Amino acid sequence: ASGKTKPGSASQLQVINFNFEAVQITWNTSAYAGINFTFVYKFDKKEEYRPCSSYILQHGYSAGCLLEVQRDGPLYFSIRNGTQPLLTKNLAISAYLKPRSPGDLSFQWRQEAVTVTCSNLGYNDLQYEIQHKTVFDAVWQSTEAETCNVTVDGLDPEKCYFFRARVKALEFAYGSETYPSDWSEVTHQQRGELRDSCWENSLFPKFIL
Amino acid sequence: YNFTDCDFKKIKESYRNIIYQELNNYTKGTRAIDFDHFVYCEDQADCLRKIQRLTFERRPGCAAPAREAFAARTRATLAAACPGYRGAQINNTQTMKKIRKRQIKTNECLEQVTYLKELWQRLSRIS
Amino acid sequence: ESGYAENGDFDDTELDDYSFSCYSQLEVDGLQHLLTCTFDDSDINSTNLELEICGALLDVYCLNFNKLQERYFLKTKKFLLIGDSKICVKLEKKNMTCRKVNIVKIVKPEAPFDVRVIYREGANDFVVTFNTSHLQKKYVKVLIHEVAYRQEKNENNWMRVNLTSTKLTLLQRKLQPNAMYEIKVRSIPYANYFEGFWSEWSPSFHFRTPETNGTELSL
């Protein structure tokens, strides 16, 4: 939520929903030097507000709150200076989703294609993106699917390939303000087997002594 | 109308391929965080009830987006996927006879359609 | 899918064969869609025959087709893109035959273009790239592309590869050395909402393979 001038306005906020496990809300403190704001929140309109239990500090002053969440739902919160609310807001935490980076990638080779699988994240409307390249390619090439079972075709089993994966929230279901997951570790594969790297001798068979 | 017997898979397909583009076009440039409130729905039927209300009912500052393209497409989607759905106060043939110029996009309408988008997004996630 | 008679007082044998086929192209001109129909029987005398579409339209109930030689076409933004329409053949305002049509299920994509092949000596392969106008569209964005390639002297021996991206690698060792090849691409809708037919083929691209058959990789 990039900045407008009014310090207390919503656009001074940044909200990140880490895989529906934790939500981080940070606010721009530069306009309010020396004030320790308090953050209170609730997940149901009828509930009482509860105080933040895990503040994020900046130069010793509160600049955000990290709160645990359990599910896709509403969040009601207020940022206060003492008892005086600076900003009171409610929002859907799904709109700020950053999925977890895909783990334990597995590779199933079949002639000139590989099927990459990993564990689904357990909620809908995600896009799993697998990128691959060889040392001859300047850029990564993407293949996408809506489950973590992505088949990449047109490969040369003789060559050594770099693979990496990430997850994106589909815009029609989460809106346009989500974050792609971090990329997974890069994996190297050649002739259907795992390799440490693609740069050493995997490339020049004729020069093997 | 009780929306529990609708074909939610069919509704999701129409939404993600057609209606979403219209809503996105209508609310281009606005973000959920720009409005102080937001509308939430618990289950699929609850979502469709609120979607119908926000799409077809008049509200202060926003006569009713019922004449917008996404409203006509919402009506067509519900008619095709919900047994016995007759549509809100206007049905398709009446709309054809009373063709009126599309209304101006007031800020209230932008807010209303942004909430509508959030309801559709929620319905998609739970379908 | 052939047409069915709208009302029952005609005896089938007296009827001309008014069956027709249609395809749609969405966002073919900005936000405008194009629906094109032709009679299956090319010998039919279509002079007084008109086509009309009703249902699943925005703001109107029916629209009339325009005619250009033997082709009937309708360019509009008014397709609802949800639910079935009915297309009728009319002779002096009387329905001769009608058919249920769903615009999103008869989509014929625009042909791919700009097919190129680049030989990579170190990698011993050919990188095939092409373009499609559907990357910029809102509706029919997901296509399957069929790349067909053959050695020019082997008339009908086309090899075919299906892909969803617009880049493909052909391995040098799988092609004949020092040979002229022809390659072309076509597309078909590939999402469970939009369905339809193959596009026309792209213009062909011709390339010659090097003399060696490329078995050793080198940077």
Q: How far apart are CA A110 and CA B11, in angstroms?
A: 37
Considering only CB atoms, which chain A residues are within 8 Å of C122? 136
**Cα C121 from chain centroid (whole Å):** 35
Lowest mean pLDDT, pick from A101-105, B90-94, C48-52, C88-92: B90-94
pLDDT at B31 over 70: yes
Chain B residues with CB-CB distance to A under 8 A? Answer: 15-16, 20, 24, 31-34, 36-38, 40, 117-118, 120-122, 124-127
Q: In sequence order, what are the residues at sequence separation of 6 or more whose Cβ sits closer than 8 angstroms to the Cβ of residue A83?
A: none
pLDDT score, position C215: 63
Considering only CB atoms, which chain B residues are within 8 Å of C104? 17
What single DSSP character describes residue A46?
Answer: T
Q: Chain C: give the shortest CA distance to residue B95, in Å.
A: 7
Give whole-number Cα distances, A28 to A15, A17, A37, A63, in Å: 12, 18, 11, 7
Residues C134, C135, C139, C140, Cα dihedral to 10°: 50
Q: How far apart are CA C8 and CA B112, in angstroms?
A: 50
The neighbour count for residue A14, using CB atoms within 10 Å, is: 14
Q: Chain A: give the shortest CA distance to residue C126, in Å.
A: 11
pLDDT grade for A205, boundaries at 50, 70 and 90: very low
pLDDT grade for A140, boundaries at 50, 70 and 90: very high
Q: How far apart are CA A95 and CA C154, in angstroms?
A: 56
Q: Residue B113 belongs to what H/E stretch?
A: helix B107-125
Give the mutation candidate from B11, B20, B26, B31 for the A interface (greatest A CB count, under 10 A).
B31
Q: In sequence order, what are the residues at sequence separation of 6 or more whose Cβ sits closer than 8 angstroms to the Cβ of residue C94?
A: none
pLDDT at C177 over 80: yes
In percent, the amount of chain A with pLDDT more than 90 equals 70
pLDDT score, position B87: 72
Of A135, A130, A98, residue with least CA distance to A21: A98
Q: Chain A: give the shortest CA distance to residue B38, in Å.
A: 6
pLDDT score, position A115: 96
- Residue B49, classed as helix, strand or coil, is helix
pLDDT at C190 over 70: yes
What single DSSP character describes residue B19?
Answer: I
pLDDT at B12 over 50: yes
Cβ C61–B77 below 8 Å, yes or no? no
Q: How far apart are CA A126 and CA A144, in angstroms?
A: 10
Task: Tell me whether 0.90 is exceeded by the ipTM.
Answer: no
Q: What is the mean pLDDT of residues C93-122?
A: 96
Of A169, A183, A185, residue with least CA distance to A20: A169
pLDDT score, position B127: 93
Residue C193 contacts B where some CB pair is shorter than 8 Å: yes
pLDDT score, position B96: 42
pLDDT score, position A9: 58
Give the mutation candidate from B10, B14, B17 for the C interface (greatest C CB count, under 10 A).
B17
Cβ A173–B124 below 8 Å, yes or no? yes
pLDDT score, position C145: 97
Considering only CB atoms, which chain B residues are within 8 Å of C58? 69, 72
Q: Name the residue among A134, A155, A204 with its Cβ closest to that of C218.
A: A204
B71-101 pLDDT, tens digit each: 999 999 999 999 999 876 444 444 444 434 4
Q: In sequence order, what are the residues at sequence separation of 6 or more whose Cβ sits closer than 8 angstroms to the Cβ of residue A63?
A: A26, A27, A29, A56, A57
pLDDT score, position B95: 46
Supply the mean pLDDT for chain A. Answer: 88
pLDDT grade for A5, boundaries at 50, 70 and 90: very low
Q: How far apart are CA C144 and CA C165, in angstroms?
A: 8
pLDDT at C170 over 70: yes
- Residue B2, classed as helix, strand or coil, is coil
Give buried/exposed letters for A69-98 (b at 16+ CB in 10 A, else e).
beebebbbbbbeeeeeebbebbbbbbbbbb
DSSP string, C98-141: EEEE-GGGSB-PPPPEEEEEEEETTTTEEEEEEE-GGGG-SSS-
Partners of C167 in beta bridges: C129
pLDDT score, position C153: 85
CA contacts within 13 A on the Cβ side of B104 = 3
Q: How far apart are CA A40 and CA C164, in angstroms?
A: 48
Q: How far apart are CA A72 and CA A17, in angstroms?
A: 10
* Residue pair B32/B114 in contact by the 8 Å Cβ criterion: yes
Considering only CB atoms, which chain C residues are within 8 Å of A155? 169
pLDDT score, position C1: 38
B99 vs B67, more confident: B67
Q: Name the residue among B34, B37, B124 with its Cβ closest to that of A125.
A: B124
- Residue C161, classed as helix, strand or coil, is strand
Of C26, A99, C139, residue with least CA distance to B24: C139
Q: What is the mean pLDDT of residues A112-121?
A: 93
Of A158, A68, A79, residue with least CA distance to A111: A158
Residues B7, B8, B13, B15, Cα dihedral to 10°: 120
pLDDT score, position C151: 95
Phi and psi, residue B118, nearest 5°:
-65, -35
Q: What is the mean pLDDT of residues B39-47?
A: 94
pLDDT at A209 over 80: no
pLDDT at A121 over 80: yes
Considering only CB atoms, which chain B residues are within 8 Å of C191? 17
pLDDT at C129 over 50: yes
pLDDT at C5 over 80: no
Cβ C82–B99 below 8 Å, yes or no? no
Cβ C218–A203 below 8 Å, yes or no? yes
Q: How far apart are CA A13 and CA A65, in angstroms?
A: 11
* Residue pair C82/B76 in contact by the 8 Å Cβ criterion: yes
- Residue C21, classed as helix, strand or coil, is strand
pLDDT score, position B65: 79
| Burial bucket for residue C122 (CB in 10 Å: 0-12, 13-18, 19+) | middle
Tokens matching residue B105: 């996009």
Of C205, C169, B113, residue with least CA distance to A153: C169
pLDDT score, position B72: 93
pLDDT score, position C106: 98
pLDDT grade for C3, boundaries at 50, 70 and 90: very low
pTM: 0.87
Considering only CB atoms, which chain C residues are within 8 Å of B80? 82-83
* Residue pair B112/B62 in contact by the 8 Å Cβ criterion: yes
**Cα B107 from chain centroid (whole Å):** 17
Using CB atoms, which chains have 3+ pairs under 8 A with A? B, C
pLDDT at C11 over 70: no
Lowest mean pLDDT, pick from A72-76, B74-78, B85-89, C129-133: B85-89
pLDDT at A57 over 80: yes
pLDDT score, position A60: 87
C27-60 pLDDT, tens digit each: 999 999 999 999 999 888 898 999 999 999 999 9
Q: How far apart are CA C145 and CA C115, in angstroms?
A: 12
pLDDT at C102 over 90: yes
Give buried/exposed letters for C23-42 (b at 16+ CB in 10 A, else e).
bbbbbbeeeebbbbbbbeee
pLDDT score, position A2: 30
The edge-to-edge listing of strands for the beta sheet with A113-117 is A106-110, A113-117, A149-152
pLDDT at C201 over 80: yes
What single DSSP character describes residue C59?
Answer: S
pLDDT grade for B103, boundaries at 50, 70 and 90: low
